[in-house]
Structure 1
Amino acid sequence: MNVNNTSSLQQIIPSTLDSWAEGIRHARDRSMKSGRLSKFKSLHDEQAYRAAYFCELARLIKDLGLCNAFERSALSIEPTHPVPPSRLGGQISKLPGLERLGAKHAELKLSLMSLPMVATFAPESEAPTLMRGPLRSPLYLLDPLYGFVYFLRRDGKYHNHCFAIDFWQSRLKSMPKGLSTTLWKNRSDNMLSGGALSGRTLFSDLIPVELDPLRRSQVPEIVVHTESDLLEIVATLKAGSIKSPNVQLWFRGQSTDYQVPNRQELVRIGITPYSNISESNLTPSLYRKYDTYLERPESFERLLMELAQWVDVAKQLIPEDPLLASAFSRSNPHARSSDGLSSFQRGLLLQQYGAPSAYLDITSDPLVAAWFATRRCKQNASGQLTFHRHVWDTSDPSTWPTIFVFPLVEGVHPFLELSSIIPSAVALRPHRQSCGLLGGAGNLARNYCARYVGLKLRLDPRFVLNRPMDVSFLFPSESEDFTLAALKGAGLTSEERLYPVTEVLNKADADCSADEELVGLNKSCSTSAAGSN
């Protein structure tokens, strides 16, 4: 498409809005029919109406093409339950033995699951099978970070079932029987701590042997003092990665290592037993404020219509490439279908240029990761970004900027490098940032990507980049970047939008006034391939 000819793109937005408004009206009408409500008869009236309505939106959501390419049950943007967030705590308190957890559900990041809703959204998942068994309650406790649902058995104890295990399980099937059986016996640890265990094996030249089983499951850390120190460590890591065939090292830089909340009180009562170690929270941008859109149906509709506009423009910008689609199918034998490539492509464009996605952006260049780790970003209402140097002087390494290292193998882990997703001529920003995308996360398993972290590089307060990249190189202007110009030409720049197109306001690092709005994780993370605040 000629970037100077934006008339066709400008026509997409009104057409999308009209089409989705009509689809939403039809969904509302269908949800009011008694037949739709009957499957939710165990819920009270308001919850049943909301559940039926969300389920009627399923076909519209599917048309977005933002499906989870690797986990059939983890969902993408479909709600897991019909309860408004303001009433979620009260509903959790009604579950047997969980009376005290309701008031803390937000702090502990707990939620609910309706099996009929998940069965509607993901009919090929295990939800329909579970419903035919003893699980007949209207709502169950859900850990939305890791995809575990909890149910009370006759022995009076809570047991769990994981809805984000398909990809890992499909890999087990390709392993020798003895090995797969051994891994399955301790599946929670081997699945959720797989990256840490892999890192300790691959990077044993730098990481001391850890004999304590619990500490072995934690991601190891190394302190980095200088840029030359970083490059030397990365060279050693790459040499160590040769121990396993086809391992690629990917990186993500953040000025803050956000953590999953302390859940020891849950562990003591037999819930989230895997929370016995601390872990980073690498929730993708789509789910960081997702729950706020579920209070009222109109808010959720606005989110869907916003994403629909981005997706329809993305369809016009990203050419269909049979060679890429074929390569995706060959190199990703554990993916659900070749349609996963479209989800990656749209996720890349959304993630890089201002809208949220279910993917985590990573980079193959450790210096790009270091750049983002040592910068903070401010974003104004119109999507303009300003970066400034981050200064830290604490003595606690856990508070220092961090570069996450992901040892990944194509076809074995749910990621794609840039050249496998989109031609570099189409989108220059991700090309400049040496971008890749790590997938698998969903609304049922928001911290999915944390399982692939093999090492954390903590940047000492003395760390500086000798010759930092210019911000205008990492975020090229619309005169250079076809996609940025096209998105702006399509009209995705209004301040009234939830997610306007992002572009850099300043052309060099500068200190920003303190009264500007610091967006932090909510939006600025969506603009980079390597990380963010």
Structure 2
Amino acid sequence: MNIQDKKSLIIDLKARMNRAKKPIHYLHILNGLEKILPQSVVSMEAPNNIICPPAIKPPSTWRRLLRGFPIEEDTVSKLIDNDFIMLDIDLFLSKNKLEESIVSFIREMIGGKYFYLDSDYGIFLYSKFGKYHNFGLDRAMFERYHQIPYSKKELLLSIGSFRAQELFKNTLDFSKRDTVESVLELSVSSRDELTELISTLRPNLKGFDLCYRGQVFDYLTANFFEEAKRNITPWRGVQDISLVPSMYRNLKNKLGDYKDYSEYYLELAELSIYIESIIETRLPIELPSLILQHYGFESTILDITFDLDVALFFAQNRIRDNQYVPIDWKSTSKPVLYIFIMSEKADPILNSNQLIKGKNVLRPIRQKCGIMTGASLISRNYYSRYVALKVKLEKPVEYYYDAAYLFPGIEEDYLLKNIAEFIHEKQLKRIKPFILSK
């Protein structure tokens, strides 16, 4: 779809918003927005569930519609409180083309209409003959990794951990992990220790690349160990790292107000069209998503970096009043550095330097970033499976960048200036870029 067609569709969708009253009306609007939003082209596994919910019924109705599933009330509460959402299988199948054999299996063997869906992993629950079962909607991923080294199908939710064990088994001690799926946790107290660790890893990469992501806190998924033992959620036997991208955080609250939800993405779609229009022609299809991510807007992608110093900056500085300030090292939690072992042949990773070559897009250039793609509304925690190693920082570790360099202001970054002016001119109220305070 070209830019003019997208602008015409936006006008039509705005008119529909003015008339919308029922959830089904907003579903049609969201379907239209998915044709415009750049995130749809970077979520290869579920491009039709970027913002469209897998069931249009509001969260207040889920318990009643799902009461046929044989689990006790406290487990139901735990599932819903931790982003299990309702799946309308008819709606899903109408939007997503699956192999006929899979559709037949769902229709004939599983049956039913509404199911509990683990929105972190794209797996839904069903019961048959008094037993719990589950079914993964992410079928394409299994095929993509069929013949890739160090990517066993049965460990597809732990690709990074498995790769690390295979590649570094003669270098690192994996014996203290709880399970084979668990990510090995290491710790360092200085730049020298970290440099030495990276130096021991590189000779064993066998064609893979190292990438990094720094965070001030090691967020984890909810603990479902007991439910895993009972075979309700057997894939939840490990408490994974949580790398849910910004677009899918606080999901249940967002889906509680379809009007506000739709209006937000209308504004984001308008901005994405504008970004396409001011960047030169022959735009890489992934670039608008990268720009939205790095300029502070909600996105489905995860930004990582090839530069260790950039990752160390983000691990040791947090945002407060639109400024990056050093973390409090007296806190009980330690900042963390995630290490990824990535394959350009199979993994959903893109080097931003290739995407922005010849474009004056300062933030991604200075942050030397890559982007991971693939997450969707039905598989939010898609990126956690690629974490190979977790490195806790016990003490401050030296790095070479500051916030002013990584986040150039309006006077230096022409794209940021244009984005801010467009939002002001169009009086968009729900979106705004991240601009570093002085």
Q: Which residue of 1 aligns with 2:14?
A: 21
Give the superposition deviation at 1:106: 3.8
Q: How far apart are the structure 1 equivalents of 2:29 and 2:112?
A: 22
CA RMSD of superposed structures (Å): 3.1
Structure 1: gaps of 5 or more residues: 1-8, 30-48, 323-340, 380-384, 507-533
Determine whether 1:370 maps to 2:312.
yes
Give the superposition deviation at 1:171: 2.5
* CA deviation string 1:365-387 (max 9, x = no partner): 111101110011025xxxxx211
Determine whether 1:483 maps to 2:420.
no
Q: How far apart are the structure 2 equivalents of 1:16 and 1:498?
A: 20
Q: In the TM superposition, what are the counterparts of 1:346-361 in structure 2 within 5 Å?
A: 346-361=288-303
Equivalent position amino acid for 1:499 in 2: I
Please, which of 322, 332, 336 is the counterpart of residue 402 of structure 1? 336
Equivalent position amino acid for 1:250 in 2: C
Q: How far apart are the structure 2 equivalents of 1:56 and 1:494?
A: 20
Q: How far apart are the structure 1 equivalents of 2:432 and 2:251?
A: 17
Determine whether 1:293 maps to 2:225.
no
Please, which of 306, 309, 323 is the counterpart of residue 386 of structure 1? 323
Equivalent position amino acid for 2:273 in 1: D
Determine whether 1:207 maps to 2:139.
no
Q: Which residue of 2 aligns with 1:157?
A: 131
Structure 1, 403-412 or 473-482: larger mean CA deviation: 473-482
Determine whether 1:426 maps to 2:360.
yes
Name the SS for the 1:478 alignment partner: coil
Q: How far apart are the structure 2 equivalents of 1:284 and 1:442?
A: 9
Equivalent position amino acid for 2:303 in 1: D
* CA deviation string 1:391-439 (max 9, x = no partner): 22356xxx31001001101121011011232236331101100111111
Q: Which residue of 2 aligns with 1:271?
A: 232
Name the SS for the 1:456 alignment partner: strand
The 1:372/1:56 distance shift into structure 2, 3 A limit, reads closer
Give the superposition deviation at 1:50: 2.9
Give the superposition deviation at 1:14: 9.9
Structure 2: gaps of 5 or more residues: none
Determine whether 1:345 maps to 2:345.
no
The 1:294/1:109 distance shift into structure 2, 3 A limit, reads closer
Determine whether 1:464 maps to 2:425.
no
Q: Which residue of 2 aligns with 1:63?
A: 36
* CA deviation string 1:305-324 (max 9, x = no partner): 122122112211333438xx
Q: Which residue of 2 aligns with 1:228?
A: 192
Name the SS for the 2:179 alignment partner: helix
Percent identical residues = 26
Conserved 8 A contact 1:407-1:453: yes
Give the superposition deviation at 1:92: 4.0
Give the superposition deviation at 1:124: 4.5
Conserved 8 A contact 2:38-2:289: no
Name the SS for the 2:39 alignment partner: coil
Conserved 8 A contact 2:158-2:385: yes
Q: In the TM superposition, what are the counterparts of 1:325-344 in structure 2 within 5 Å?
A: 342=285, 344=286
Structure 1, 367-376 or 57-66: larger mean CA deviation: 57-66
Q: How far apart are the structure 1 equivalents of 2:239 and 2:37?
A: 35
Conserved 8 A contact 2:214-2:313: yes
Please, which of 97, 108, 112 is the counterpart of residue 123 of structure 1? 97
Q: Which residue of 2 aligns with 1:447?
A: 381
Equivalent position amino acid for 1:66 in 2: Q
Conserved 8 A contact 2:334-2:393: yes
Q: How far apart are the structure 1 equivalents of 2:174 and 2:257?
A: 52
